[in-house]
Structure 1
Amino acid sequence: MFFHVHHPDSLQRRRWERIEHGWPNNRGGALKWILNLKYLPPVSAVSGIVFACLYAPVTFAQSIEQIGETVRQQQLEIREEQDKLQRERLQRELNNDFQQLSPKQKKSSGDAPVGPCFDVISITFQGLQNLPENLIGEVEETARPFLDQCLALAELSEIVQKLNGLFLQHGLVTTRAFLPEQSLKNGELLVRILVGELQGYESESLTPRNIKWAFPLDAGDVLNLRDVEQGLDQINRLRSNNATIDMLPGDEPGQTIVNVKNEAGYWLGGRLSVDGDSVQQGDDYRGRLDVFADDLLGINDALIINGNQSLAERAYSKSYGFGLDYSVPWRYNLFTLSGNQFRYENIIQGTNRTFVVSGESQVIDVSANRTLYRGQSTKFDGLVGLAAKKTNNYIEDTRIDVSSRQLSIGRIELRIKQFIGQDMTAFASLAGEHGLRILGADDDRQGGFPNDAQFRKYRFFGTLSKPFWNWQLGLTGQYQYSPDRLPASEQILVASSSLITGFSDFTMTGDSGGWLKLDLGSPYAAIHWLPGFHTNIGLSFLKGWVPHQADRQFQHGSASATEVAFRLMGHGLFVDVRVGKRLEAPSSDHSDPDVPDVGLSVSYSI
């Protein structure tokens, strides 16, 4: 049965193909796990292992189970922390964009007095050539219904009103159409268009370089409010900025000076926080320190550095991580470099000896985001990115190949932000990711791995928010589909205490699947006996599911939980106490879902 041990030159690398179905819990499975390390051990070591498996099966299997469970649990904790960082980064972008993307109301002018009518055979536009090319056709189309008609003064004024409304709709707030004094005896109507241009910028608090990198308009360009809003977004990306604009008349008719005012705070900030997704999991509480630095190079760049560590540090267990996020805007573009690293070390106590189980996970991601279209109530972005991920797990400094991967991932993403009606906002993104054979990534052509490094996956994410009386109603969801077997780091997390309090130590992932979360938050109310502090309550419900796929994943089904949260904030302090309960779990899970779970987050920002 073990004759291969006597021929080391003929040994080939072997992988454990059943890692998705759990770690081994019997004597044969334990031996198979050892044999599927990167290289087989020496003959004497194998003999000892065989002896141990035959004559001490229970203690050996228990140690193997402990090691497997430790690696699995640490990988899930790292994945949850990485998902949190991604959600925080996306939320920062959403908050900034939606604050500046607000519909502009048109001012309607009163009708002119009714009087004699004039035959209009043709309409000539003076200054039309100075408009953007994509608008010229719309101007002519707007005026066409008024041709070959007898128009009263009120109808002549309506032509001007419709044209000015068209300019306002396209963001040309300083461009206007008007009727000069003229004779209509020949049936020729002259409409003069004065195109608004940017004369320049003024600012007492921002440097010319800040303005040049943020605003896509240069002196002499047609002034478009959408371009001004984009520049304002880029300035206000920095947490220390609170910029507004005034439009001042320029030296010549049609020229405008954009005056940028900024109430800037201190360029350096910090936040100290303690976050526990589940009181029942003592190891789940982590301390974290974030440092924010704004405008280091004078180009509206932002740097965020964070460090976190488990607060349940013991002699036999420790974990910590570091991360950074650096972004630089350039007009309609945003370039981002982000990375994080997490490490853990656990000591597993066996019957006759201890095992040191350790691991690390590294992610480096670069992306470029460009605004492809920005309208009165819509913003459409395109994003491309490249990520390098490395995961290593060790037993006694020996790398476990089957759970250690090196991946390179290309990403294409489309994002849309939309105002719906007067008080509803929506965001949606559609992304496709593909594993690449670059930057030292594992190659599926070499075979031997239980999952695919050159995978394909497609992801949809969306949010919808609307005031509900004085409360705020929000709906958030994500769905992922992949036809391939995904590494653990690429699977979707559909049920976890990091998504909603109530799941305790239960976690559910899959190659394909999704989750949907409903949030209802009360308005913040002042606390009279605690000046400067406000409080609110929130209600949440989440349902996640993983579809059944034959021979694909061990865990499938659906899970749900509900949560009640109490929040207190003021003077830089934020406290969030959450109580949740699991309502549903897959039939394969036999833990008690009736025990309420408690989560706590406390942070202080300066």
Structure 2
Amino acid sequence: MLAGVLLGGPLLAQAQVPSTPQPFVEQQRQQERERALREQNERTVDQRLQAAPPAPTQRIPESEAPCFRIDRVLLVGEQSEAFQWAVTDLSGPEGNDSPIGRCLGTAGVNVVLARAQQAAIARGFVTTRVLAAPQDLSTGTLTLSLVPGRIAAIRTMPDSSATLLGSGALLGSAIPAHPGDLLNLRDIEQGLENLKRAPTAEADIQIEPSTAPDAKPGDSDLVVKYVQAKKWRLTLSLDDSGTEATGRYQAGATLSLDNPLGLNDLFYVSANHNINGHVFSDPAMGTEGQTVHYSLPYGYWMLGLTASNSQYHQRVAGLNQDYVYAGKTNNAEVKLSRLLYRDQSRKTTLALKGFRRESRNFVDDTEVEVQHRVVGGWELGLNHKEFIGEATLEGTLAYKHGTGGFGAIAAPEEAFGEGTSRMRLYTAEVSLNAPFKLGEEKLRYSGLVRAQWNRTPLTPQDRFAIGGRYTVRGFDGETSLMGERGWLIRNDIGWAMGQSGAELYVGADYGHVGGRSTADLLGRSLAGAVIGVRGQWSNLSYDFFMGVPIRKPEGYRTAKTTFGFNLNASF
């Protein structure tokens, strides 16, 4: 059995033998656990500010007296060159009420003026004004004047919380606009998202007319109220996401520092460890991991640094004696992202990430050299979020490329064409969260589609895995199906249980893997179902669930019924 571990770790994982060391399955599990941890701690706050509601839609009167034929509409004034789009299309919401070639009187001019003003507001320029001065319309030209709305000053309210580097640093890192810039709601939304990214912080931005002696028409101040009651948070967690071989029950602790430097930055350090009858010192099995993260925004930019490591060990029966099989993994990444576009209903972000991953495995403290992996490279991702009524649709497409940098070494599989440290692969993820009502009952649909396509052979660490609470639910996670490419879909329907803060949910998942390495698998598809209850009570969030497999390959080992839980207490 031990010889198989040394020579064929990946094959044993495919053969579904839970008692055998499965280093790559353990690494996949740790990656999923870290993904869940980061989603929990690196929250995003979406701000969608509403401008004043538009005036009731009016059509240009068909007959006015007196009236003048209008052949063109001009926009003049300071900054008017940048606002020509406001008068490009003045034909109304239905597109069939253009003023060009029409005879306009006072009422008609006011309708055209309101449309140009609403066009500016719709793009976030809520303090920019479009006016019509007295003029001679007999020339056939309607001239509109632009009064740009600018930011005169950005300041905090006197009762705002103090920060380490002062209000200038706080506001400078949060708001992507400066005094003298045109005032736009999109910049204010971005500023609020940066100011509120720490869960212990609350912020509000008011637009007030400038009272400066040299203020011009259209000048406004952004007045920020920032309140942070404390700068730290402690979260304790307990779940049963581990395996029987290395420790089913996992405990964790995360210490977070919110806005420690006063730059809207976020720092946290997290540790997890299995718990059992031996508490933290079982010589036969164990898992542990640590993660440290720091990130800070600068306007539409975000820089993040993350490092993590994990270890596990288990006792393996040999021919004449037992052995301790252990694995260690270290990960590091630097991520730089930039918001490319946003309006009231959507936003798009581009991200570039550099990464390094190293894994080692040992038998009784002797390293298994053939299982040593070091991978380095970059990943380019595009994220888009669409707000559709109360629903949110989000998608991410990424390209991952191993370069041989950051101390990477050639993978042993390269000799057989079965993997490479210079991987090239695409990943995609689409999620939908849509609340709705059935009568008076509040329900919610949440769906997730995740997929991966490979352009090169992949080592097991980079393959797509299914089977378990983080992928296809209904399975105990002791074994999984893995392939170079694959996809999965998760579906939940949740029912809010009155005012209790609890949600009852049912879910159905399906996943499929493919690629060269799947030829020896017992099968390629899994389907499962889950029912559970999750919610928040005081400082405790919880999730209790029961899952069952619906479809699995013959011979695939998993429990007939899987029970699980996640508990998180925040202080």
Which AA in structure 2 matches 1:563?
A: V
* Residues 1:354 and 2:322 are matched in the alignment: yes
Name the stretch that deviates more: 163-172 or 281-290. Answer: 281-290
The CA deviation string for residues 276-311 of structure 1, in whole angstroms up to 9 with x for no partner, is: 137988922100001110112221110111000011
The one of 44, 62, 67 equivalent to 1:117 is: 67
The one of 359, 381, 390 equivalent to 2:349 is: 381
* Residues 1:596 and 2:545 are matched in the alignment: no
The one of 402, 421, 437 equivalent to 1:453 is: 421
Q: Which residue of structure 1 lines up, in the alignment, with residue 272 of structure 2? A: 308
* Residues 1:492 and 2:492 are matched in the alignment: no
Shift of residue 571, structure 1, vs aligned partner: 1.8
The CA deviation string for residues 360-411 of structure 1, in whole angstroms up to 9 with x for no partner, is: 0000011101011112211111111111000000112222123221111210
- Kindly indicate whether the alpha-carbon contact (under 8 Å) linking 1:244 and 1:260 is maintained by their aligned counterparts in 2: yes
Name the stretch that deviates more: 84-93 or 192-201. Answer: 84-93
The CA deviation string for residues 502-535 of structure 1, in whole angstroms up to 9 with x for no partner, is: 20124222210011000111125334xxxxxx32
- Kindly indicate whether the alpha-carbon contact (under 8 Å) linking 2:536 and 2:542 is maintained by their aligned counterparts in 1: yes
Q: For 1:185 and 1:416, locate their aligned partners in 2 and report how far apart those are by CA, in whole Å.
A: 49
- Kindly indicate whether the alpha-carbon contact (under 8 Å) linking 1:497 and 1:507 is maintained by their aligned counterparts in 2: no
The one of 89, 103, 116 equivalent to 1:150 is: 103
Q: Which residue of structure 2 lines up, in the alignment, with residue 268 of structure 1? A: 232
- Kindly indicate whether the alpha-carbon contact (under 8 Å) linking 1:548 and 1:556 is maintained by their aligned counterparts in 2: no
* Residues 1:399 and 2:367 are matched in the alignment: yes
* Residues 1:220 and 2:170 are matched in the alignment: no
Q: Which residue of structure 1 lines up, in the alignment, with residue 530 of structure 2? A: 563
Which AA in structure 2 matches 1:405?
A: R
* Residues 1:107 and 2:54 are matched in the alignment: yes
Q: Structure 1 residues 278, 566: closer, same or farther in 2, change over 3 A?
A: farther
* Residues 1:583 and 2:550 are matched in the alignment: yes
Shift of residue 177, structure 1, vs aligned partner: 0.9
- Kindly indicate whether the alpha-carbon contact (under 8 Å) linking 1:524 and 1:535 is maintained by their aligned counterparts in 2: yes
Structure 1: tracts of 5 or more residues without a match = 1-14, 26-64, 528-533
Secondary structure of the 1:263 match is strand
Provide TM-score, normalisation by structure 1. Answer: 0.82
Shift of residue 474, structure 1, vs aligned partner: 1.1
Q: Structure 1 residues 167, 260: closer, same or farther in 2, change over 3 A?
A: same
Report sequence identity in percent: 22
- CA radius of gyration, larger in: 1
Q: For 1:322 and 1:267, locate their aligned partners in 2 and report how far apart those are by CA, in whole Å.
A: 21
Shift of residue 161, structure 1, vs aligned partner: 1.3
Q: Structure 1 residues 102, 125: closer, same or farther in 2, change over 3 A?
A: closer
- Kindly indicate whether the alpha-carbon contact (under 8 Å) linking 2:249 and 2:275 is maintained by their aligned counterparts in 1: yes
Q: Which residue of structure 1 lines up, in the alignment, with residue 164 of structure 2? A: none
- Kindly indicate whether the alpha-carbon contact (under 8 Å) linking 2:74 and 2:87 is maintained by their aligned counterparts in 1: no
Q: Structure 1 residues 453, 548: closer, same or farther in 2, change over 3 A?
A: closer
Alignment of 1:294-373 (within 5 A): 294-312=258-276, 313=278, 314-350=282-318, 352-373=320-341
Q: For 1:445 and 1:75, locate their aligned partners in 2 and report how far apart those are by CA, in whole Å.
A: 14
Alignment of 1:497-508 (within 5 A): 497-499=469-471, 501-504=473-476, 505-508=478-481
Provide TM-score, normalisation by structure 2. Answer: 0.87
Q: Which residue of structure 2 lines up, in the alignment, with residue 481 of structure 1? A: 453
Q: Which residue of structure 1 lines up, in the alignment, with residue 197 of structure 2? A: 237
Q: Which residue of structure 2 lines up, in the alignment, with residue 31 of structure 1? A: none
* Residues 1:192 and 2:159 are matched in the alignment: no
Which AA in structure 2 matches 1:164?
A: Q
The CA deviation string for residues 181-208 of structure 1, in whole angstroms up to 9 with x for no partner, is: 3443444433121111011112132611
Q: For 1:437 and 1:550, locate their aligned partners in 2 and report how far apart those are by CA, in whole Å.
A: 23
Q: For 2:413 and 2:320, locate their aligned partners in 1 and report how far apart those are by CA, in whole Å.
A: 38
Q: Which residue of structure 2 lines up, in the alignment, with residue 62 of structure 1? A: none
What value does the CA root-mean-square deviation take over the aligned residues? 2.9
Q: Structure 1 residues 426, 281: closer, same or farther in 2, change over 3 A?
A: farther
Q: Which residue of structure 2 lines up, in the alignment, with residue 29 of structure 1? A: none
Q: For 1:571 and 1:139, locate their aligned partners in 2 and report how far apart those are by CA, in whole Å.
A: 53
Shift of residue 458, structure 1, vs aligned partner: 0.5
The structure where strand makes up a greater share of residues is: 2
Name the stretch that deviates more: 400-409 or 342-351. Answer: 342-351
Q: For 2:139 and 2:534, locate their aligned partners in 1 and report how far apart those are by CA, in whole Å.
A: 72
Q: For 1:131 and 1:291, locate their aligned partners in 2 and report how far apart those are by CA, in whole Å.
A: 51
- Kindly indicate whether the alpha-carbon contact (under 8 Å) linking 1:269 and 1:293 is maintained by their aligned counterparts in 2: yes
Q: For 2:357 and 2:257, locate their aligned partners in 1 and report how far apart those are by CA, in whole Å.
A: 26
Secondary structure of the 1:96 match is coil
Q: Structure 1 residues 231, 592: closer, same or farther in 2, change over 3 A?
A: closer
Which AA in structure 1 matches 2:492?
A: D
The one of 414, 428, 443 equivalent to 2:395 is: 428
Which AA in structure 1 matches 2:508?
A: F
Q: For 2:14 and 2:180, locate their aligned partners in 1 and report how far apart those are by CA, in whole Å.
A: 72
Q: Which residue of structure 2 lines up, in the alignment, with residue 247 of structure 1? A: 207
Name the stretch that deviates more: 294-303 or 449-458. Answer: 449-458
- Kindly indicate whether the alpha-carbon contact (under 8 Å) linking 1:278 and 1:497 is maintained by their aligned counterparts in 2: no
- Kindly indicate whether the alpha-carbon contact (under 8 Å) linking 1:277 and 1:498 is maintained by their aligned counterparts in 2: no
Q: For 1:303 and 1:564, locate their aligned partners in 2 and report how far apart those are by CA, in whole Å.
A: 35
The one of 220, 231, 247 equivalent to 1:283 is: 247
Secondary structure of the 2:32 match is helix
Q: For 1:353 and 1:446, locate their aligned partners in 2 and report how far apart those are by CA, in whole Å.
A: 30
Shift of residue 92, structure 1, vs aligned partner: 6.0
Shift of residue 434, structure 1, vs aligned partner: 1.1
Q: Structure 1 residues 294, 139: closer, same or farther in 2, change over 3 A?
A: same
- Kindly indicate whether the alpha-carbon contact (under 8 Å) linking 2:209 and 2:221 is maintained by their aligned counterparts in 1: yes
Q: For 1:448 and 1:598, locate their aligned partners in 2 and report how far apart those are by CA, in whole Å.
A: 42
Secondary structure of the 2:458 match is coil
Which AA in structure 1 matches 2:564?
A: G
Q: For 1:283 and 1:17, locate their aligned partners in 2 and report how far apart those are by CA, in whole Å.
A: 25
Shift of residue 446, structure 1, vs aligned partner: 10
Q: For 1:408 and 1:359, locate their aligned partners in 2 and report how far apart those are by CA, in whole Å.
A: 19
- Kindly indicate whether the alpha-carbon contact (under 8 Å) linking 1:543 and 1:559 is maintained by their aligned counterparts in 2: yes
Name the stretch that deviates more: 408-417 or 251-260. Answer: 251-260
Q: Structure 1 residues 216, 351: closer, same or farther in 2, change over 3 A?
A: same
* Residues 1:521 and 2:476 are matched in the alignment: no
Shift of residue 85, structure 1, vs aligned partner: 2.2
- Kindly indicate whether the alpha-carbon contact (under 8 Å) linking 1:272 and 1:605 is maintained by their aligned counterparts in 2: yes
The structure where helix makes up a greater share of residues is: 1
Secondary structure of the 1:71 match is coil
Q: Structure 1 residues 92, 316: closer, same or farther in 2, change over 3 A?
A: closer
* Residues 1:164 and 2:117 are matched in the alignment: yes
Shift of residue 542, structure 1, vs aligned partner: 1.0
- Kindly indicate whether the alpha-carbon contact (under 8 Å) linking 1:513 and 1:544 is maintained by their aligned counterparts in 2: yes
- Kindly indicate whether the alpha-carbon contact (under 8 Å) linking 1:300 and 1:329 is maintained by their aligned counterparts in 2: yes
- Kindly indicate whether the alpha-carbon contact (under 8 Å) linking 1:413 and 1:429 is maintained by their aligned counterparts in 2: yes
The one of 85, 89, 108 equivalent to 2:34 is: 85
